[in-house]
Amino acid sequence: MKPKFGAKKPELSELGRIKDRITFLYLEHAKLNRQDSAIVVADSKGTVFVPAGIISVLFLGPGVDITHRAMELIGDAGVSVVWVGERGVRHYAHGRPLSHSSALIEKQALLVSNTRSRISVARKMYQMRFPNEDVTGLTMQELRGKEGARIRQVYREQSRLTNVPWTKREYNHDDFDSGTPVNKALTAAHQALYGLSYSVIVASGASPALGFVHTGHDLSFVYDFADLYKAEFSIPTAFKMAAEFEEDKDIGSRTRLAMRDKFVDGKIMIRMVQDLKFLLEVEDEQDVEILGLWDDKIGLQKFGVQYSIYEENEI
């Protein structure tokens, strides 16, 4: 039998809690390997050793080569891996979430399956956009109307600040270049925000499909979640790009790069994780790997026990 090198797989109790880890680490144009319990990151500038136990989510951007041994360590340490475009602007694929816990997706499914709790979460989303108003008594129709008025106001305000003419939001899914410069920039900015939202949702262990406002699409929750940040991030960025590069045919790429620069400090990603857990009512303490057996009468039972058809007290 071959000897095993490096540290042993950590026990659950040894893994750092989510809030004690670096939330996200983005890497590009580098080679990743493993040495003991560290991920070895090598590029043209040198080599860095990153302890796997301090990372929650590893974003792998363009030009990354990663070895099997590195992936083995990453999996054992409970690190989620997401393959993305430059600076996280595009989401291509993802591995398992950090904690291997089903707490978020179970709570999400529970909340979305009940009309009363679904409306409650939807109202929380709208309340985050209207912090100074009480929306608890509003219907979904009233909330949609209120949000529509808010977004139209945001468009008008950004138009005034940037001197970019604005009439209405219009775009053709099949013909990006047919739109006005500001509409093309808005499409590119929103797509970048959707990509980042997708990455955060799947890395945290929630479902991108189970939306509370949007429904019927495999990205319904992504659209729900991204809407929380459009007025602050993607809309101002799009208008700024339209003001600076109105005649540039490559305004879509310029806008994506501008959104990339807004993501680079990681602050929005940390905020997204906190907001996601707030919406789904899940605390950090619940993000642990607990594998059990479901029972409809006596609750959660231990996994790994050889049960008989008789309970012990009946034998």
Separation between Cα atoms, residue 70 and residue 47, nearest integer Å: 15
Q: How far apart are CA 148 and CA 169, in angstroms?
A: 12
Of 132, 148, 150, whose CA–CA distance to 140 is shortest?
A: 148
Q: Is 111 helix (H, G, I), strand (E, B) or coil?
A: helix
Q: Tell me if 159 sits within 8 A of 168, measured CB to CB.
A: no
Nearest-10 Cα torsion for 225, 226, 230, 232: 70
**Rg (the chain; Cα; Å):** 23
Q: Are strands 301-302 and 292-293 parallel, antiparallel or unpaired?
A: antiparallel
Q: Alpha helices of 180-299 — where are they, by DSSP H?
A: 181-204, 220-226, 235-244, 251-263, 267-280
| CA-to-CA dists, residue 203 to 159, 256, 260, angstroms | 35, 22, 19
Residue 28 marked in a binding site: no
Write b or e for each residue in 9-35: b if 16 or more Cβ atoms lie within 10 A of its Cβ, otherwise e.
Answer: eeeeeebbebeebebbbbbbebbbbbe
Nearest to 32 by CA among 58, 1, 4: 58
173 is in an annotated binding site: no
Please state the φ and ψ torsions of residue 283, each to the nearest 5 degrees: -95, 160
Give the other-Cβ count within 10 Å of 62's Cβ: 12
Annotated ligand binding at 281? The verdict is: no
Which residues line the annotated binding site for Mn(2+)? 147, 214, 227
Which residues line the annotated binding site? 147, 214, 227
